[in-house]
Amino acid sequence: MKPRIESTGFGYIIVAGARIENDIVIPLSGKPAKRKKKLSKAIYGTSHIVSRDEAEYVYEEGAELLVVGSGQYGNLTLSPEASKYLAKCNCRVELLPTPQAIQHWNGAKGMVIGLFHVTC
């Protein structure tokens, strides 16, 4: 079941009443997990670009939509390789600043996964 995201601010996100102070991934199971930023950092030297390796980690068979919270100021992006991989998997991507992404997440229907960056 997809959990409701209540709010976000610089450095945190509140999911189903729990304040989480790191980037998260929400898989189809609905259980938030810490984002594995090292998968992207190893390639780009930053966690502000999602690598194909990280996209492969986040994506789950059957997911129709990936909602990406790109940070409070929208600084996170997908690499071209990550975008191509997700397109090949027939998974649409909605990349929005995290405050807007949580609204999109809460209203999204179907097989939805999420990745939320909580700082810049």
In tens digits, the chain (120 residues) has pLDDT values of: 899 999 999 999 999 999 999 999 999 999 999 999 999 999 999 999 999 999 999 999 999 999 999 999 999 999 999 999 999 999 999 999 999 999 999 999 999 999 999 999
What the chain holds in terms of domains, given with CATH numbers, is 5-117 (3.40.1230.10)
For 20, residues 6+ apart whose C-beta sits below 8 A from its C-beta are 12, 13, 14, 32, 118
Mean residue pLDDT of the chain comes to: 97
Contact 65, 115 (CB under 8 A): no
* pLDDT, tens only, 49-83: 999 999 999 999 999 999 999 999 999 999 999 99
pTM above 0.95, yes or no: yes
Alpha carbon separation from 22 to 80, 88, 118 (Å, rounded): 25, 29, 7
For residue 37, the 8-state DSSP code is: T
